[in-house]
């Protein structure tokens, strides 16, 4: 991560949000209850997950709040009657929080301990990249992800990939087909079968 400048990190995060936004907008009214590659999640559940994650960024990064202090503020359904608007609002607030002066120099208090805001931003970017593919697959949108975002996500997840399946957050890794490209290898590593 030391080779990545703050501006590069913020640019990646913003571009990953934009990729997810394109797929959210591609979800027609008949697709919100469609299944996704994420076991037991519909399109609505997947978008809810990403909206909630974005909602956490301002209090954790901007305000220095702890998970305990935020408590159940984001429980329930943040999507309301307009999931696209809910995503747009949450994404903009998160992007503003990460982009504030010196925001990436801060420490955030996550559920598993104190983490550098830069690392948190990189984790959030990776989550956006992978879930963009999930959403694209579910709504029949373009599944191709930008190569540089895939490469950054692969670098981010590589050090802890072996622990992910045991976290119950990811399915076990899938063996990629021979000659698989980097996107396919990343998705297989994270339990997807592209």
Calculate what percentage of the chain has a pLDDT beyond 70. Answer: 96
Alpha-carbon distance values, 95 to 18, 54, 55, 129, 171 (Å): 11, 8, 10, 15, 29
Spatial distance between the Cα atoms of 132 and 43, rounded to a whole number of angstroms: 11
pLDDT the model gives residue 2: 45
Calculate what percentage of the chain has a pLDDT beyond 90. Answer: 84
pLDDT the model gives residue 160: 82
Spatial distance between the Cα atoms of 74 and 111, rounded to a whole number of angstroms: 14
pLDDT the model gives residue 159: 86
pLDDT the model gives residue 169: 66
φ/ψ of 109, rounded to 5, equals: -105, 95
pLDDT the model gives residue 175: 92
Q: Give the pTM.
A: 0.93
Spatial distance between the Cα atoms of 151 and 173, rounded to a whole number of angstroms: 18
């Amino acid at each position: 991560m030391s080779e990545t400048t703050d501006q590069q990190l913020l640019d990646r995060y913003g571009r990953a949000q934009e990729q997810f936004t394109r797929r959210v907008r591609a979800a027609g009214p008949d697709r919100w209850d469609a299944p996704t590659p994420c076991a037991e999640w519909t399109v609505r559940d997947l978008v809810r997950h990403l909206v909630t994650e974005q909602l956490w960024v301002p209090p954790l990064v901007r305000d220095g709040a702890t998970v305990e202090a935020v408590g159940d503020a984001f429980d329930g359904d943040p999507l309301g009657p307009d999931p696209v608007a809910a995503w747009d609002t949450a994404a903009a607030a998160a992007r503003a929080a990460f982009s504030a002066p010196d925001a990436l120099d801060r420490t955030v208090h996550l559920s598993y301990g104190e983490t550098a805001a830069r690392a948190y931003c990189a984790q959030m970017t990776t989550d956006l990249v992978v879930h963009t593919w999930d959403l694209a697959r579910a709504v029949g949108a373009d599944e191709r992800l930008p190569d540089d975002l895939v490469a950054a996500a692969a670098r981010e997840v590589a050090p802890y990939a072996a622990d992910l399946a045991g976290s119950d957050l990811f399915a076990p890794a899938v063996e990629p087909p021979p000659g698989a490209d980097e996107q396919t290898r990343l998705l297989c590593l994270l339990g997807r079968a592209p």
